[in-house]
Amino acid sequence: KVAVFGVQKYDIKSLNDSNGEDSDVKFSFFDALLDQKTAILARGHDAVCIFVNDICDAGVIEQLAGLQVRFIALRCAGYNNVDLEAAAKFGIKVARVPAYSPEAVAEFTVGMIMTVVRKYHKAYNRVREGNFLLDGLLGFNISGKTVGLIGTGRIGLLTGKILAKGFNAKVVAYDPYPSNLAEEYGISYVDTLDELLVQSDIISLHCPLNTSTTYIINDDTIAKTKKGVVLINTSRGGLIDSYALIRGLKSGHISAVGLDVYERESSYFFADSSAKVITDDTFARLLTFYNVFMTGHQAFLTKEALENIGETTIKNLRDLEST
């Protein structure tokens, strides 16, 4: 019996489609994020199934252990929201879906780069008003520009490949664990993050969020980037210090930003489904910049990715039970 938290319609559909009616896996769907207050809903279930914004810290894990929950099945790749040490301490097994569709996120990232560089979002709003003037819409070619990737795992590599092979960009990357596929994909490594910051016209984040990467983009690192740099984050919000980002935008040092993820996005989801206004100060301030394009953690959302998430989650739950 599995308590599924933070569900939206697509979750219910993809999990049910992959499960089949006569399956031994039984779901209860809860329209709430997992946290200290909602953990009690897991009573009577063997597993909880969670996504990127559910909170699964040591306190929640202790509660789950007290409710005899034995498994945590993440239906996502990142696991920064789960305290793995606490899970191990209480003997709760954790599984995730590591590579459900790097293509989904890589293609979305490239689209986001094009959107902010060529100002699609601004142009769309103008054309809707019948305004065909082009002032303020000047972009630049990606071809020949230097794109810097922070992290070259599954998503970073593919993003780099599309940009190098498809756009003829010069793609450089920083990763403490370089990939041997990079050369074939047209990506060359720099030895330090600083080198990447200095060289890149566009910087895209593709590393996980952990203690060593939190605020990897901050006042100091922004100061090292080229004037007019473009920043893209489809990875995790906590990689960027939002106040530093706003300062960089205000000074004009950063020319454009694309964001799919936010530092405090857990509080944006379901906090109060009747409240349509997000009160987070940085979110509201970012919305005021025309050169910031924002989406709501959507990069993963393709038909193919959902099928894979559903199938792998069911398989993970069965494997957890049998090991």
Q: How far is the CB of 159 from ligand NAD (least distance, A)?
A: 9
Q: Please name the helix (run of DSSP H) or strand (run of DSSP E) that holds residue 320, with its range, or none.
A: helix 303-322
* Among candidate residues 100, 149, 55, the one with its CA nearest the CA of residue 300: 100
Do residues 80 and 55 make contact, with C-beta atoms less than 8 angstroms apart? no
Name which position in 236, 245, 265, 282 contacts ligand NAD (CB under 6 A). 236
Please give the distance of CA 295 from its chain centroid, rounded to a whole number: 11
Nearer to ligand NAD, 140 or 189 (CB): 189
Compute the distance between CA of residue 200 and CA of residue 318 in angstroms, rounded to an integer: 45
Q: Please name the helix (run of DSSP H) or strand (run of DSSP E) that holds residue 9, with its range, or none.
A: helix 9-19
Nearer to ligand NAD, 69 or 106 (CB): 106
Compute the distance between CA of residue 45 and CA of residue 27 in angstroms, rounded to an integer: 9
81 binding ligand NAD? (CB under 6 A): no
DSSP bridge partners of 47: 2, 71
**Near ligand NAD in 91-110, by CB under 6 A:** 102, 105
154 binding ligand NAD? (CB under 6 A): yes
Q: How far is the CB of 138 from ligand NAD (least distance, A)?
A: 29
| Active-site annotation holds for 265 | yes
| Active-site annotation holds for 236 | yes
Site string for ligand NAD, 261-280 (x = CB under 6 A): x-------------------
Nearer to ligand NAD, 152 or 316 (CB): 152
DSSP bridge partners of 172: 148, 188
Name which position in 6, 151, 160, 310 contacts ligand NAD (CB under 6 A). 151
Other CB atoms within 10 A of residue 323 CB: 7
Q: Could you list the active site residues?
A: 236, 265, 297
Contact set with ligand NAD (CB under 6 A): 77-78, 102, 105, 150-156, 174-177, 206-209, 212-213, 234-236, 260-261, 297, 299-300
